[in-house]
Each structure stands twice: as C-alpha cells, then as structure tokens.
Structure 1
C-alpha cells in the first residue's frame, strides 16, 4: 500500500476543513448529497463518454496499481541481478540460466532470458522486447488519461452544480434566512469539483505517469542487460554500461555496492 499517496489525499481534505474552520465557515455544509451526486456521478458519466466500456471497467484495476507499492523495483538491484546472471552464464553457459529463472518474479526479465536460452537472434529479441515495452507504455498512458479526463470534467461540473444550486436558491427569495444557506450550499458543488479535479484526479494521473516512467526505465535496463548477457559481456562491463542509465543517486549507490564487494 502506498501510504504516502493516502497521506496526500487526507492532507488535502484536512486543508479544506481547517481552512473553513479558520474562516468561520460551517463545516457541516460539506455534507451535501446533491453536490456529491452531481460531481461523482457526473464525472463518472464524463469518463464513460470519453472511453470505451473495456477501459472504463478497467478503472478499479488502475486504482489498485495506483495505491500498490511495487516491490523489487530498485534499478540498482536489477543491475546487480543482471550482473550475477552474467557471471553464471559466462561460467556455466547460457543453459545454466534456465535453473535460475525458476524463482524469478520479473516476467520481462524472465521472457528475455528465455529467448536468449532458446538461441534467438539479437535483433529478434530486441524487436520483441521493444514491442512489449511500447505496448505497456501505451496501456499506462491510457490509464493516466482516464484520470486526466476526470480531472478536467470535475471542476466544470462543480460550476454546473453551483448554477443548479443558485437556481434553487433564487426560487426561495422570500425566505432570506433559508436563501443564505442555499447559496452557501450551492457553492459546495464547486468546492467538490475543484477538490476532486485538482487534489485527486490530476495528481493521480501524474502519479500513474511517474510510476510508468520508472517501470519503463527499469525495463530498458533489463533489455540492455539481456542483450549484453547474450553477447557474453563481462559483469563489470555490463554494470558500467547499465549504470549510465541510472539517476545520479542510484549510480552512486551502485558504485558503493561495487566497492563493498
């Protein structure tokens, strides 16, 4: 579970509540079923109209990916693993990797090694893995675009909700006390819309894009590593080549691990 993301959502909600208290606004006004219906159902309808059924029904899976803290994603660990596989392949031959693959969790690395063991040509392996990588990147882009669409629709629906609320308020001009409460309630929909759009949906889209970028970067490291193993390069050379694909902090960590060996 990605606790940091949950903390971010809760912090955003608390900032609204605390801000209202500081300004002397009645927090109870946030409990507005009509505004919730307009924003939540309206946003869902906007997404339904923007994407086909298959992609809309895939939203729960996208959300699970969003909140899931992925393990074994450290690029330094991946490079260390590839270097160890290279040592095994150089010492005992490529066929010896078949035994190592049995407990391997990374499917992309496992598929790449399987093709190497099966004796496929370098260009063929490169083409297959790049195609898989491109397809995954496109799936991730579509997943993020769902939240981008929702983030664009929610604030506008908030304005729509405010207009609907004001229409109701203007129908009760004779009761001035009730009129004030209705006007205040009318703008709750706008608050809901802005919150859902700019504190939830757009940040969720950004988080998905970031997760995708990290996963794609790791897959590119694996692709180069697999091709290097097939070429019979030594582990030190592989580490040096793959380290150029790391961020400075990760590169320093890899260098520190190498010195400690």
Structure 2
C-alpha cells in the first residue's frame, strides 16, 4: 500500500508542479508514446540481453515485493523460535525420533503446526541439514557456523540479483533518454525551415526524452531496485536466526538459552517480547506432551 501511495505522490508532485507552473501537458502527451517506445523498449531489450530466462522471471516476481514488503512478519519469527525449541528438545531427548521430522518435513506433525515455515523450502532445508549434521557427529559449532554463513551468503547473493538487474536498468535509463532526445533533435534539424512555433514544439518533444529517462530512472526503477534490496535483506534475518539458534544448540546451551539467543538476534520491530515468547513456548511444550 505504501508503495502505491509513493508512486501516486511522485506523479502528482512532478506533473502537478509542472502544470501549476504553467506548463502545457499536451506537448508531453503528444511525444510520450514515441519517447516511451524508444526509451522503454531499449531498456527492456537491454534487460533481456543481460539476463537469462530464470533471472527475468525472478526479477518480475520480485517486483511484487515493492508492494507486499517482507515475507516474514512478527508472528513468523515467534513461530520459528517455537519450532526450533520443539526440535531441539526432541533431538536431545530422543536423537532417533528427530530423524523422521527432518528427513520428511512434509509428513512431520511438528512442522505441520507452522505451515508458513513448512512452505519455505530454504528454511526447512536449513533446519534439517543443520540438525542432521549434529546427528552425523559433524557438530563443531565453528565449522557449522562457517558453512551456514557461506550457504546463506550464496542464497542472499542469488536473491539480490533482481535488485541488481533493476538498478542496472535504472543506471542506463538517463543515457537512453539522451539517445531519444538526440534523435528528436535530429528530426528537428531536418525541419529547420519550419516557423518558430513548430520548431518549439518539436524541440519540446525531443526534451521529453531526456525528462522521461531521468524520471523513470530516479522516480520509479531506482526506488524499485532499492526496495527489493531492502526486502531481501530484511527477510535474510529469518534465516540468520535459524543459524544463531542451531549454532547455540551445538554449543550445548540449554534449549531456553538457545531460543533467547535467537530472540535477541531478531530485528527489533519483529522481536517478540520475553513474556509473549514464554507463553508461546509453554503452549508448544503442552502440544508436544
């Protein structure tokens, strides 16, 4: 919703200010289809050249994040801590019983209580692989933490590709606007014998290209790229929390301490209070009993 409001504010302020200053919108509207065809078409073509099919689909999908915001909300962080608490307690009480839950999470009664987390393949794989490594005696906390860090860096790098692709497009739009403007000037020079009022409109139409390139770059595509990057980085905290809790578990801290480590590493605006988390953990204990 905020993204839509932001777009409306941009258009109202830019074009409203232009009209309030006495500008004539007709010149812009007349040149807009042709300039948009040149600038937008060239930008899309360059985007297609510089990305493969998977990256294109990924970028188009991630544009929705501008309006939806981060995937993981406060309740999801609380649910994740409860899920990890239940799995850690079970792994310590009965190392054999934990295997059925991490080997087939889709059939796990524990994971089934948290459908949003279960639906995220990366989160489920991260939890399962880390708990499995402990059962295989690969339980050096420092080595496991290093492996998880590299894994998450690779995942985040892939997730940020759409932001980089949009930013590259934003960087190129002003130059493409200049290309369109130069073509407009060339057209104008071919009609140099026309009266000043006609030449003025033609030059104004040519300058629409420069305006459009800069406007699209800094008013829309650039902010879209920044927002996608911010959302990806925000969602990455969810996976970092998994790492912090499970590495604390490998240090053989008490289950409650492991969960408190995770709570403290949760972003402040999504961090559950100590009391709320305690109530949720008590409920998780009762369900597991």
Would you say the 8 A contact 1:66–1:208 is kept in 2?
Answer: yes
Look up the match of 2:199.
179
1:145 aligned to 164, 185, 188, which one? 164
Look up the match of 1:122.
139
Q: Structure 1 residue 230: deviation in Å? A: 5.5
CA distance in 1, matches of 2:223, 2:191: 39
Would you say the 8 A contact 1:161–1:189 is kept in 2?
Answer: yes
TM-score by length of 2: 0.75
Q: Aligned pair in 2 of structure 1 residues 224, 169: CA closer, same or farther (>3 Å)?
A: same
Superposition misfits of 4+ residues, deviation over 6 angstroms: none
TM-score by length of 1: 0.82
CA distance in 2, matches of 1:142, 1:192: 25
Would you say the 8 A contact 1:140–1:208 is kept in 2?
Answer: no
Look up the match of 1:111.
125
- TM alignment of 1:199-238, pairs within 5 A: 199-229=219-249, 233-238=253-258
5+ residue gaps, structure 1: none
Tell me how large the CA RMSD over aligned residues is.
3.0
Describe the SS at the equivalent of 2:191. coil
Q: Structure 1 residue 153: deviation in Å? A: 0.7
CA distance in 2, matches of 1:93, 1:101: 17
Look up the match of 2:184.
165
Q: Aligned pair in 2 of structure 1 residues 114, 76: CA closer, same or farther (>3 Å)?
A: closer
Look up the match of 1:46.
46
Look up the match of 1:8.
6
238-247 or 140-149, which deviates more: 238-247
- TM alignment of 1:41-120, pairs within 5 A: 41-52=41-52, 54-56=54-56, 58-74=58-74, 76-77=77-78, 78-87=80-89, 89=91, 95=97, 98=101, 99=108, 100-102=110-112, 103=115, 104-115=118-129, 116=131, 119-120=135-136
Describe the SS at the equivalent of 1:187. helix
Would you say the 8 A contact 1:83–1:235 is kept in 2?
Answer: yes
Would you say the 8 A contact 1:155–1:194 is kept in 2?
Answer: yes
